[in-house]
A and B are shown apart, each in its own frame.
Chain A
Amino acid sequence: MSDQQTPASTATPDKPKDDLTPFGFRDVPKSQKAGQVAEVFHSVASKYDLMNDLMSMGVHRLWKRFTIELSGVRPGHQVLDIAGGTGDLTMKFSDLVGPSGKVVLADINASMLKVGRSRLADRGYVGNIEYVQADAEHLPFPDNSFNAVSIAFGLRNVTDKDQALRDMARVLKPGGKLMVLEFSKPTNPLLSKAYDTYSFTALPFMGKLIAGDSESYKYLAESIRMHPDQDTLKAMMETAGFANCKYHNMTGGIVALHVGIKP
């Protein structure tokens, strides 16, 4: 790993380490992380889809497609799409659950939710979708409410991931499935090197060029490196109470889909 990937603490020395959480390569007080993440997404919301297509060269659609395929969602199911952003997964889930089912698109960020709602309504996705501004750590839903819960490219932005996973387990029905689609660690060292170079040079440059914001995309690259690797996240899911946890590496491990079942 290059020097730029080493986390550099900027927290005040008198703060206990327990109260800090990574925000990219910096450690920030836990109480501030949500606000800082919100700033990032307020800034990129309008160009989010375009940037996703450019940054991943369109492959993010295939990663999401695979997630939908593994979801096992059927007509009549209740689905929660956490950090649903501009509604890519929600759109597909809406097709699958049909008029007798329901999809809840939840996002902590009002700007992303607004963009997502407009986008889905413009494409005719109405009737079986609800929009909720919600924090993944404190989901405002009763226990055992959903057949499937998904969180795509959102978990790494959550301050307390263990608490979020526990709350996802709480709202799932017994036998329900959690799908965590997130950037992970490439399995091939060569790919890893190329990916690092791309993330820390091309991404901020593209962010500046397209969205006029290089800092947010620098945060994106840093937050990916700070996110737990495949096995660590699997262990976290098991600790949160999920059974049959497994992961599927995609595109050489750049992204991994973790799946767990609520017993």
Chain B
Amino acid sequence: MFPGPTLLSAASAIVETALNQALEFDPAGRKALLAALTAPVQFNLTVPVALTLTLTQGAKGVLVGSQPATQPGLVIGGPAMAFYAMASGDTGAIQDGRLSISGDTALAHQFQRAIEQLSPDWEAAMARHLGDVPAHFLAKRLRNSVKWSRDARHSMASNLEEYLHEETGALPGRRELEASFQDIDALSLRVERLAARVEFLPQSQPPSLPSESSEKQENS
């Protein structure tokens, strides 16, 4: 079955090397991540290809495996896009069920905090090869570029949203939509209640009274 064990091992070896090299430039983050890995953390990728990656605490850093752990402390599963969303800071990936989590919730929180704290010093990494001054110059440029591209992306997204909602009216506004959805939910609830009451009516009807004709016959 593709990918075979050799390719999986190659992939996990590459991830392990990259991860540990990145952690070298963030000693505090490395310490926190290793402390958080009190038990193996397992990622089960479902789409586009079924893959498993495990993170385990090793004597010299984080060990990355391509086979399911014997006793994982935490298992996170879902499609690759949901993992990407989570890595980009979208916590909704877990709340809306795109990612499933099972295992030790304390470990999950500890692991999440350790990941959020990670901040490798890329400038130091470059300075090793280029020298302090060129590395600082290059890092400054890179930081500015990243900040500019992030701002530009946010700005473009909000401009597009505004254009579609406000100027063309092609899509309803977010608040308008939310109000409509709330109305629909309220209506649905009321209909359900009404249906339940209608269903209940025959059962709660009082026993039928004797008819007038029978009363007259009795009187005569």
Residues of A within 8 A of B (CB): 59, 61-63, 65-66, 69-70, 72, 74, 94-96, 98, 248-251, 257
Contacts and interface: CB of A to CB of B under 8 A. Distances in A.
A65 B67 contact: no
B124 interface: no
Contact of A69 (B10, B12, B58, B60): B12
B22 interface: no
A66 B5 contact: yes
Contacts of A62: 6, 9-10, 13
A117 B65 CA distance: 27
Contact of B59 (A63, A72, A98): A98
Interface in B32-67: 58-60, 63, 65-67
29 contacts: A59-B6, A61-B13, A62-B6, A65-B9, A65-B12, A66-B5, A66-B6, A66-B8, A66-B66, A66-B67, A69-B9, A70-B67, A72-B70, A74-B70, A94-B59, A95-B58, A95-B59, A95-B60, A95-B63, A96-B58, A98-B59, A248-B5, A249-B4, A249-B5, A250-B4, A250-B5, A250-B6, A251-B4, A257-B5
A251 B6 contact: yes
Nearest to A70: B67
A66 B58 contact: no
Contacts of A249: 4-5
B103 to A, nearest CB: 17
Q: Which 7 A-B pairs have the closest CB atoms?
A: A62-B9, A72-B70, A65-B9, A66-B9, A95-B59, A69-B67, A66-B5
Interface string B107-142: 000000000000000000000000000000000000
Nearest to B56: A96
B13 A65 contact: yes
Interface of B: 4-6, 8-10, 12-13, 58-60, 63, 65-67, 70
Contacts of A70: 67
Contacts of B63: 95-96
Nearest to B65: A69
A184 to B, nearest CB: 13
Contacts of B58: 95-96
Nearest to B64: A69
A182 to B, nearest CB: 14
B6 A63 contact: yes
B195 to A, nearest CB: 56
Contacts of B59: 94-95, 98
A171 B70 CA distance: 22
A61 B4 CA distance: 15
B125 to A, nearest CB: 24
A98 B58 CA distance: 8
Nearest to A97: B59
A100 B3 CA distance: 35
A249 B65 CA distance: 18
A95 B6 CA distance: 21
A57 B8 CA distance: 17
Contacts of B67: 66, 69-70
A98 B65 CA distance: 17
A27 B6 CA distance: 34
A30 B166 CA distance: 89
A61 to B, nearest CB: 8
A52 to B, nearest CB: 15
Given A63-B9, A66-B8, A70-B67, 20 more contacts: A59-B6, A61-B13, A62-B6, A62-B13, A65-B13, A66-B66, A69-B9, A69-B65, A69-B66, A72-B70, A74-B70, A95-B58, A95-B59, A95-B63, A96-B58, A98-B59, A249-B4, A249-B5, A250-B4, A251-B4
